[in-house]
Amino acid sequence: MPEAVPEPGPEAVPEPPGPADPAPLGVDRTPTGVAEVDARLARLADADHLGTSGHLEVYEDVHQGLRDTLTALDRRPGPTPPGPRPPSAT
């Protein structure tokens, strides 16, 4: 008598993957040498531990901080530009 072959039954359908846990993106941040800018860029690492919904707050904070740093550059006194030269007495 031939061996009975089991009829194929419903196969287990794998569950679709759910949202992934927050994980670092592994993006390197090269120091600029400007302490204020480097501190702002280091803040981007905070987004690595947040869900996607929390990224916007970090990005907006960093963006505003970088804008403030650039704006402050315009307010800092720089070297005094050379004034007009007196006519030479020849």
| DSSP calls for 62-74 | HHHHHHHHHHHHH
pLDDT at 26: 77
Mean pLDDT check: name the lowest of 8-17, 52-61, 77-86. Answer: 8-17
pLDDT at 35: 92
Question: CB of 29 within 8 A of CB of 41?
Answer: yes
Instruction: Give the mean pLDDT of 60-85.
Output: 84
pTM of structure: 0.57
pLDDT at 62: 95
Instruction: Give the mean pLDDT of 47-51.
Output: 86
Please state whether 48 falls in left (phi above 0), alpha (psi between -120 and 50) or beta.
alpha
Position 66 pLDDT exceeds 90:
yes
